[in-house]
Amino acid sequence: MIVRMFPTDANPAGNVFGGVILRNIDSVAGLVAQRHCRTNAVTVSMDKVTFLKPVYVGNALVLNARVNYVHKSSLEIEIKVEAEDMEKGTRNITGTAFVTFVALDKNGKPTPIPKLKLETEEDKQKFEEGRIRMEKRIQERNKEKLP
């Protein structure tokens, strides 16, 4: 997904607000989740959101997404964020994020989703890393449950 950044997306210094970038991360991740699940999918968490460099007014925000891990009804999507300088034609990685979604059926209940096809060694590595992150998220969520 490519989105041009305008003055309304930025602070007075011309840096794009982190919230604008987060909105776009969630949007592209949601599209990827729904395409994989073939049903409605909702955001459960955003983890390890990292802002590495600023994005400026006039840049094109370029978001690349991939499904890393699929469980029964949930999936993890990795987003790489780049800023493209439209005049120079250069791109810089400006951030990354991991977004977890749950697929829902017509009644709003979690529903099984297609397995992920692991075709390359990188796919297998990303899947295993995603599985480990998912286990950590579940452990953290269980700690946070109120009595």
User: In this structure, what CATH number is given to the domain that contains residue 64?
Assistant: 3.10.129.10
pLDDT of 146 above 80 = no
Residue range 10-34: average pLDDT?
96
**pLDDT tens for residues 79-112?**
999 999 999 999 999 999 999 999 999 999 999 9
pLDDT of 74 above 70 = yes
* Residue ranges making up the domain that contains 125: 2-144
Predicted local distance difference test score (pLDDT) of residue 144 = 76
CA atoms within 13 A on the CB side of 84: 12
Tally of structural domains, the chain:
1
Q: Kindly give, in sequence order, each residue whose CB lies less than 8 Å from that of residue 50, ignoring residues fewer than 6 positions away.
A: 95, 96, 97
Contact 20, 5 (CB under 8 A): yes
Q: Kindly give, in sequence order, each residue whose CB lies less than 8 Å from that of residue 83, ignoring residues fewer than 6 positions away.
A: 53, 54, 55, 56, 59, 60, 61, 62, 91, 92, 94
Predicted local distance difference test score (pLDDT) of residue 86 = 92
pTM score, whole prediction: 0.90
Predicted confidence band of residue 147 (pLDDT cuts 50, 70, 90):
low
